């Protein structure tokens, strides 16, 4: 399973790549805003950092106000020229699907985002989007079962051998990471804090205390 970092902050992206060997990055307009930089400066800085990392994809979202496929395609093409690592995030609307299909046909890789149902995921597979992003956390924040639809999407993709990779997005807990892996999703994406919490366990800390006591009572040379 691949780990993508959900952030547009360069210090976090560096940490994810250099300390943990993560596999890619996803951003969205909220993350760009949180970086404190203007949109184009933010993505230019990321493009510069990933320039020598060919296998480190970065999803960048188009202006969410764009409604028509032609406008989406125009902006997607412009952004994609900034870095070969960039994958363009397009909302899964009727026009977004049209745009993603054309972009993929023209060699621009896409990530169909804001996916909340298996039927939205199916069309992402059919138009050959590079990625599809179902938002597990948003579902669960609203009291829905966010994991069953992930399982359904994985099952459907396997049945039809879709090549699109599934990014389980808006992940909030280590349990969601593990469930996504159990179901066979390709990728998870979440913030650094969620990952770092998932690397730990209270029993590990407890066990360390036990071993520290033993160490202190042992003659060491």
- Kindly list the catalytic residues: 89
The minimum distance between CB 131 and ligand E4P, in angstroms, equals: 9
Q: Which of 100, 102, 164 is nearest to 131 (CA)?
A: 164
57 makes contact with ligand E4P (CB under 6 A): no
How would you label 141-173 residue by residue, b for 16+ Cβ within 10 Å and e otherwise? Answer: eeeeebbebbbbbbeebeeeebebbbbbbbbbe
Among 22, 28, 101, 103, binds ligand E4P (CB under 6 A): 28
Q: Which of 89, 98, 87 is nearest to 64 (CA)?
A: 89
- Determine if 92 is a binding residue for ligand E4P (CB under 6 A): no
Binds ligand E4P by CB under 6 A, chosen from 42, 189, 195, 198: 189
Is position 5 an interface residue for ligand E4P (rule: CB under 6 A)? no
Q: What does the angle CA 206 – CA 179 – CA 22 come to, to the nearest 5 degrees?
A: 75
By CB under 6 A, residue 186 contacts ligand E4P:
no
Q: Does 41 interact with ligand E4P (rule: CB under 6 A)? A: no
Q: Which is nearer to ligand E4P, 6 or 179 (CB)?
A: 6
The only residue of 57, 118, 125, 137 in contact with ligand E4P, by rule CB under 6 A: 137
Tell me the closest approach of the beta carbon of residue 136 to ligand E4P, in angstroms.
9
Window of 12-20, 24-32, 41-49, 211-219 that interacts with ligand E4P by CB under 6 A: 24-32
Question: To the nearest whole angstrom, how small is the minimum distance from the Cβ of residue 30 to ligand E4P?
Answer: 5
Member of 5, 108, 169, 187 binding ligand E4P (CB under 6 A): 169
Would you tell me how many other CB atoms lie within 10 Å of the CB of residue 19? 10
Closer residue to ligand E4P, CB minimum distance, 35 or 133: 133
| CB 6, min distance to ligand E4P, A | 5
Q: Judged by CB under 6 A, does residue 26 bind ligand E4P?
A: yes
Gyration radius from the chain CA atoms: 19
What is the smallest separation between the CB atom of 76 and ligand E4P, expressed in angstroms?
Answer: 16
Q: CA geometry: angle at 70 spanning 64 and 75, to 5°?
A: 50
Interface residue list for ligand E4P (CB under 6 A): 6, 26, 28, 30, 113, 133, 135, 137, 169-170, 189
């Amino acid at each position: 399973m691949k780990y993508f970092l959900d952030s547009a902050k360069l210090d976090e992206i560096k940490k994810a790549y250099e300390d943990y060997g993560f596999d890619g990055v996803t951003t969205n307009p909220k993350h760009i805003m949180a970086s404190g930089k203007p949109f184009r400066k933010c993505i230019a800085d990321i493009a510069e950092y990933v320039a020598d990392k060919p296998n480190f994809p970065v999803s960048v979202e188009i202006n969410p106000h764009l409604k028509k496929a032609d406008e989406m395609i125009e902006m997607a093409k412009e952004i994609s020229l900034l870095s070969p690592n960039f994958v363009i995030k397009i909302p899964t609307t009727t026009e977004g699907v049209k745009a993603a299909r054309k972009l993929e046909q023209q060699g621009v890789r896409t990530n169909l985002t804001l996916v909340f149902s298996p039927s939205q995921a199916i069309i992402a597979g059919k138009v050959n989007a590079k990625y599809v992003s179902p938002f597990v956390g948003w579902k669960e924040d609203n009291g829905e079962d966010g994991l069953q639809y992930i399982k359904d999407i994985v099952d459907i993709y396997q049945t039809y051998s879709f090549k699109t990779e599934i990014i389980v997005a808006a992940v909030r807990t280590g349990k969601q990471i593990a469930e996504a892996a159990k179901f066979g999703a390709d990728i998870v994406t979440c913030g650094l804090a969620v990952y770092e919490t998932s690397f730990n366990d209270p029993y590990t800390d407890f066990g360390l205390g036990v071993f520290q006591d033993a160490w202190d009572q042992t003659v060491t040379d």
